[in-house]
Chains A and B, each alone.
Chain A
Amino acid sequence: MIINHPLLGPRDAAEFIYKGDASLIDRPDGMAEGALAAFDAYLHLRDNPAGLHRELWYHEQGDRSWLVVTRNTLTHEITRVELARDVARAQGRGR
């Protein structure tokens, strides 16, 4: 597989480490009401789509960027690669 790194261009998948669903960005607030249930869902519940899947890859043998890769689980086609930091910010995560 080849991942088209937004900063470094096309890189072989062997340089990356896979983490999992990009929903791991959406960490709940641990101090909020119902945090226990929210963390249980955050950690254990995943969609299992046949088709487009957004997932986290880490460029460990490279620039240590975390990326959000949109991959078609049926064809392995990669349709989009973003810096996870940009995705997190766009989803309202900050400090």
Chain B
Amino acid sequence: MTQPFRLSGGQIDRSRLVRFQWNDRWMSGHPGDTLASALMANGVRLVGRSFKYHRPRGIFSAGTEEPNALVQLRKGAAQEPNTRATTVELFDGLYATSQNHRGSLEWDLLAINDLLAPLLSAGFYYKTFMWPAKLWEKLYEPAIRSAAGLGRLSERPDPDCYVHGFLHCDLLVIGGGPAGLAAALAAGRAGLRVIVADEDFRLGGRLNSDREEVDGQPGTDWAKAAVAELIAMPRVRVMPRSTVFGAFDHGIYGALERMTDHLRQSDGKPRQVAWRIYAKRALLAAGATERAIAFGNNDRPGIMLAGAVRSYVNRFGAAPGRRVAVFANNDDGLRTADDLRAAGIEVASVLDARTGAAIVDTRGRKALRQIILADGTRIDADCLAVSGGWSPNVHLTCHQRGRPVWSDRISGFVPGGVLPPGLSVTGAANGTMTLGAALREGHVEGSRLAAELGQRPAKGGPPVAADASFAVTPIWHVGASRARSWVDLQNDVTTKDVTQAYQEGFRAVEHVKRYTTLGMATDQGRTSGLLGLGVLADLSGKPVAEIGTTMFRPPYTPVAIGAFAGRARGKAYRATRLTPSHDWATETGASFTEAGLWMRAQWFARDGEAGWRDSVDREVMMTRRSVGVCDVSTLGKIDIQGRDSAEFLNRVYANAFLKLPVGRVRYGLMLREDGFVYDDGTTARLAQTHFVMTTTTANAAGVLRHLEFARQCLWPDLDVHLISTTDSWAQFAVAGPNARALVSRVVDDLDLSNDAFPFMACAECTVFGGTPARLFRISFSGELAYEVAVPARFGDAMMRALMQVGAAFDAVAYGVEALGVMRIEKGHAAGGELNGQTTARMLGLGAMVSDRKDAIGGTLSRRPEMQAEAGLRLMGFRPVDRTQNLMAGAHFLTQGAATDTAHDQGWLSSVAWSPELGHSIGLGFLLNGENRLGERLRAYNPLRGQDILVEVCSPHHLDPEGVRQRG
């Protein structure tokens, strides 16, 4: 297992070998390697194909700015596309493959796109594939979709788990390079609670990649010691592998910590943690990113950023080439050449753009072979180190209102405008490009923040280092190049594309970005953005300062959706609420349905029943013949107490409540202030100053919010107190002709005769010899019915006891389907009718809305438009041919009228099969419905392919006089 390009030195553990697979070939590296450095040590030059032209590409950088070396990591369900090889920490058994090629990486069939380049220039998708139009869907789009994109998703559920975490600190230091470490040391020594987060697995930043000294020792040793000191401080948390990806409001920062990405297996541990960090202050010490220079065929494998070349040589002990040329517009060129020579690598030439040296073209299909200068000189080289200067990583300063400003001193954008409150910037991110100055600035800033937060700065000065010369001249592209010159490597944008966009009239930098896609790839244009601006500046004759820069938005680097989701996946996406009788229902073989967060029993199938309809029909019939029991605990329950409770209810319900006697229940209709129906339910008066309100299951939380608003904001001096008791009480409907007989065997000492406890009566009582309970004589089914409530802890026992006692009457448990059938038979409105678009008048409840009081929604419910005489009314419907089934959602049309929305007469909102009537029935809204009884209409449902005749009838399909429920 040889590593032919491995050098001596570097911060890798040579005592151990790490084996990994690249395109199914076994290779080896060492702990401390990234996948990129290990590939380099193994002599792999070609690592991927470019996005559009499928050009051969190699490793370009040594960090998150990487535009080329995107690979697919792992296999199977854990496969992750578009992973930067330059940030992947090498581990034993790592499996990676190249992406974006058809056929092998070496012989990519789609490389033909490179020959078609003239057709694929900026905005080509606006101009080509236009004719013939019908080919778009059949040919062009499928072909483009199959060719587009980079890596492939596994299309299987992500097997890893992700969690959210919350951290608090005085100071969050973003970036653990020289400035960040100096600041963290100053703040930590002064006693602040500090978090230092760095995206790398080794803190130190450029100290690990350059050969500079700090306090008289190698920079990397100093960084190691600084990290050790920080880790030893009890109030400091050092977080490697943690990227702060966003600066949000009020000092909240998002950070992604990669917990197990560097391990072969996560062993059940969370793969990544999405941290929300609450920081009193934050210090951005994110350093700077090197830029390239555009020249002819500047995208060949082997052409790299100069700083990356130094990283591979100094930090990873991997040689980017045997014979390296250097091309720079700043002093880093010489520094790079020095480092290469010190590592024993031949330097072919150092070309300083500031003295007129210019590369116009290169040779070498799958790896760089030769560079060609403007004067025709040819230089053989297998690697070219390019430096166009450095751009401060200002990203997080822009996440709120910051707008970077141009600095001539460094030829780059530095933080400007209004920074996120509490955030300051130090070191290279602030445009302080030399080591000694960055250390001093970080130290001073850390001390200043400590003082600002009330801590006395510790004694001692800043770490000391030299300030190497940093002189840069803005040269962004070599105009003399005749070959294509790449600006954005990842999205395949060339100087020609930018020029063309400009010539077609795109002048604003944000427009050029979107038209050419420059900077819109996953690297967000880190190495290319300024090149594009430079080309635009030359075209327009304006300085870059006036061109401005495009905006940076969160996240700083891509964050997996899984990390944002955390544990909230599948069933854990939201809470599940179980009714008090859930265990009993499960034992009884119930099928369940979701109602909001609740799991409700839908029906209870018995042996011999062929389908759900059999079960539901039986439950309805047994209830209507004898007695049925249903858990209705999911309805919202709000306990209302206080001297002004009746007055309060009178204002939140549209109908009158002041005179509701103690011991009685009343149906309440709640409107929104705009006059439409919001919710309904029953409210019982248990005592002079004590009421219990029920709400629909769906609106339980919303109604309480609404009532609290009324209580606190509208009438703050009413003596009313509210509390939700939905979860405190288990409540069961007992319905059917034998309901009284059953309930009287359950309740202790309460006269249930119709005179003593009539329809709409209520009482506090006990059941089964002393268990506290409440009894309400209310009916949703239309039968003689009671609802009995017991404290939730007795709910399970109560359900079992009711069924045990009920056995004498052949009592049946019924689920929400039977409940629905019975309420439709009875003509009670529910979800399908109370959909936020209906009025009291539409529901046939117009007379309930009192105009003698100022209740919520009362005034606007009297708008003329809502009182129209021939408006929609809730009616009943049945098929003319009784063997046909109605379908909810059908719209009504007068027979003979055109089938269009202009002739729409209303719609069918709820349907059911009525076992009692032996045919399908429905509720719906019909224009002028109350005057159209008996009329035959078309019920037209084009979505479900139905067009049948229905007959208008009363919404009360059963017992319209209410004899049963009052009996």
Known: A31-B854, A43-B674, A58-B705. A88 touches B713 (CB 8 A): yes
Known: A30-B858, A36-B859, A43-B860. A2 touches B252 (CB 8 A): yes
A60 within 8 A of B: yes
What residues on A are CB-neighbors of B853 within 8 Å?
A: 31
B830 within 8 A of A: no
What residues on A are CB-neighbors of B712 within 8 Å?
A: 65-66, 83-85, 88
Of the listed stretches B458-466, B474-482, B715-723, chain A binds: B715-723
What residues on A are CB-neighbors of B704 within 8 Å?
A: 64
Q: How far is the CB of A10 from chain B (nearest CB, A)?
A: 9
What is the CA–CA distance of A89 and B717 in the complex, to the nearest angstrom? 8
In residues 1-28 of chain A, which contact B (Cβ within 8 Å)? 1-2, 17, 19, 24-25, 27-28
What residues on B are CB-neighbors of A56 within 8 Å?
A: 709, 713
What is the CA–CA distance of A39 and B672 in the complex, to the nearest angstrom? 12
Q: B574-593 vs A: 1/0 string, CB under 8 Å?
A: 00000000000000000000
What is the CA–CA distance of A34 and B718 in the complex, to the nearest angstrom? 26
Contact between chains at A19 and B859 (CB < 8 Å): no
Contact between chains at B708 and A93 (CB < 8 Å): no
Which has the most chain A C-beta neighbours within 10 Å: B278, B400, B704, B708? B708
What is the CA–CA distance of A35 and B675 in the complex, to the nearest angstrom? 13
What residues on B are CB-neighbors of A28 within 8 Å?
A: 859
Q: How far is the CB of B481 from chain A (nearest CB, A)?
A: 45
What residues on B are CB-neighbors of A17 within 8 Å?
A: 705
What is the CA–CA distance of A95 and B643 in the complex, to the nearest angstrom? 12
Known: A1-B249, A2-B252, A66-B709. A85 touches B859 (CB 8 A): no
Contact between chains at B709 and A1 (CB < 8 Å): no
What is the CA–CA distance of A70 and B709 in the complex, to the nearest angstrom? 18
What is the CA–CA distance of A59 and B701 in the complex, to the nearest angstrom? 12
Contact between chains at B249 and A60 (CB < 8 Å): no
Contact between chains at B713 and A39 (CB < 8 Å): no
A80 within 8 A of B: no
A46 within 8 A of B: no
Contact between chains at A43 and B673 (CB < 8 Å): yes
What is the CA–CA distance of A76 and B418 in the complex, to the nearest angstrom? 13
What is the CA–CA distance of A3 and B705 in the complex, to the nearest angstrom? 19
Contact between chains at A85 and B705 (CB < 8 Å): no
Contact between chains at B714 and A39 (CB < 8 Å): no
What is the CA–CA distance of A61 and B858 in the complex, to the nearest angstrom? 30
Q: B863-874 vs A: 1/0 string, CB under 8 Å?
A: 100000000000
Which has the most chain B C-beta neighbours within 10 Å: A1, A30, A43, A58? A30
In residues 698-741 of chain B, which contact A (Cβ within 8 Å)? 701, 704-705, 708-709, 712-718
**Set B418, B421, B715, B854: member contacting A93, Cβ < 8 A:** B715
What is the CA–CA distance of A76 and B855 in the complex, to the nearest angstrom? 36
What is the CA–CA distance of A58 and B704 in the complex, to the nearest angstrom? 11
Contact between chains at A88 and B701 (CB < 8 Å): no
**Set B250, B716, B718: member contacting A76, Cβ < 8 A:** B250
A48 within 8 A of B: no
What residues on A are CB-neighbors of B673 within 8 Å?
A: 27, 39, 42-43
Contact between chains at A40 and B860 (CB < 8 Å): yes
Chain B residue nearest to A40 in the complex (CB): B860
Chain B residue nearest to A75 in the complex (CB): B401
What residues on B are CB-neighbors of A95 within 8 Å?
A: 644, 715, 717-718
Q: B450-488 vs A: 1/0 string, CB under 8 Å?
A: 000000000000000000000000000000000000000
In residues 628-682 of chain B, which contact A (Cβ within 8 Å)? 644, 673-674
Interface residues on A, range: 35 or more
What residues on B are CB-neighbors of A43 within 8 Å?
A: 673-674, 860
In residues 26-78 of chain A, which contact B (Cβ within 8 Å)? 27-31, 35-36, 39-40, 42-43, 56, 58, 60, 64-66, 74-78
Contact between chains at A60 and B716 (CB < 8 Å): no
**Set B250, B714, B863: member contacting A25, Cβ < 8 A:** B714
What residues on A are CB-neighbors of B709 within 8 Å?
A: 19, 24, 56, 58, 66
Contact between chains at A35 and B859 (CB < 8 Å): yes
B846 within 8 A of A: no
What residues on A are CB-neighbors of B252 within 8 Å?
A: 1-2
What residues on A are CB-neighbors of B400 within 8 Å?
A: 75-76
Q: How far is the CB of B700 from chain A (nearest CB, A)?
A: 12
Chain B residue nearest to A42 in the complex (CB): B673
What residues on B are CB-neighbors of A31 within 8 Å?
A: 853-854
What residues on A are CB-neighbors of B715 within 8 Å?
A: 93-95
B862 within 8 A of A: yes
B43 within 8 A of A: no
Q: How far is the CB of A88 from chain B (nearest CB, A)?
A: 5
Q: How far is the CB of A47 from chain B (nearest CB, A)?
A: 18
Known: A17-B705, A31-B854. A1 touches B250 (CB 8 A): yes
What residues on B are CB-neighbors of A84 within 8 Å?
A: 712-713
What is the CA–CA distance of A94 and B715 in the complex, to the nearest angstrom? 5
Chain A residue nearest to B864 in the complex (CB): A36
B270 within 8 A of A: no
Q: How far is the CB of B210 from chain A (nearest CB, A)?
A: 39
Contact between chains at B708 and A58 (CB < 8 Å): yes
Contact between chains at B860 and A77 (CB < 8 Å): no
What residues on A are CB-neighbors of B248 within 8 Å?
A: 1
B240 within 8 A of A: no
B915 within 8 A of A: no
What is the CA–CA distance of A85 and B644 in the complex, to the nearest angstrom? 17
B251 within 8 A of A: yes
Contact between chains at B701 and A2 (CB < 8 Å): no
Q: A79-91 vs B: 1/0 string, CB under 8 Å?
A: 0000111011100
What is the CA–CA distance of A84 and B714 in the complex, to the nearest angstrom? 9
Which has the most chain A C-beta neighbours within 10 Å: B249, B701, B704, B713? B713
Contact between chains at B859 and A64 (CB < 8 Å): no
What residues on B are CB-neighbors of A27 within 8 Å?
A: 673, 714
Chain A residue nearest to B718 in the complex (CB): A95
**Set B421, B674, B858: member contacting A77, Cβ < 8 A:** B421
What residues on A are CB-neighbors of B705 within 8 Å?
A: 17, 58, 60
What residues on A are CB-neighbors of B716 within 8 Å?
A: 85, 88-89, 93-94
Which has the most chain B C-beta neighbours within 10 Å: A28, A35, A40, A64? A64
Q: How far is the CB of A20 from chain B (nearest CB, A)?
A: 11
Q: How far is the CB of B892 from chain A (nearest CB, A)?
A: 31
Q: How far is the CB of A61 from chain B (nearest CB, A)?
A: 11
Chain B residue nearest to A86 in the complex (CB): B716
Chain A residue nearest to B251 in the complex (CB): A2
What is the CA–CA distance of A42 and B858 in the complex, to the nearest angstrom? 14
Contact between chains at A60 and B701 (CB < 8 Å): yes
Chain B residue nearest to A36 in the complex (CB): B859
Q: How far is the CB of B566 from chain A (nearest CB, A)?
A: 13
What is the CA–CA distance of A60 and B673 in the complex, to the nearest angstrom? 21
What residues on B are CB-neighbors of A93 within 8 Å?
A: 713-717
Please report A residues at the B interface, Cβ cutoff 8 Å.
Answer: 1-2, 17, 19, 24-25, 27-31, 35-36, 39-40, 42-43, 56, 58, 60, 64-66, 74-78, 83-85, 87-89, 93-95
**Beyond known contacts A1-B252, A39-B859, A87-B713: 15 more, CB 8 A cutoff:** A1-B250, A2-B278, A24-B709, A29-B854, A31-B854, A39-B860, A43-B673, A58-B708, A58-B709, A66-B708, A74-B401, A75-B421, A76-B250, A83-B712, A85-B716
The 3 closest A-B pairs by CB, nearest first: A30-B854, A94-B717, A2-B250
Q: List 21 A-B contacts (CB under 8 A).
A: A2-B250, A2-B252, A2-B278, A19-B709, A24-B709, A27-B673, A28-B859, A29-B854, A30-B855, A36-B859, A40-B860, A43-B673, A56-B713, A58-B708, A60-B701, A64-B704, A85-B713, A93-B715, A94-B717, A95-B644, A95-B718
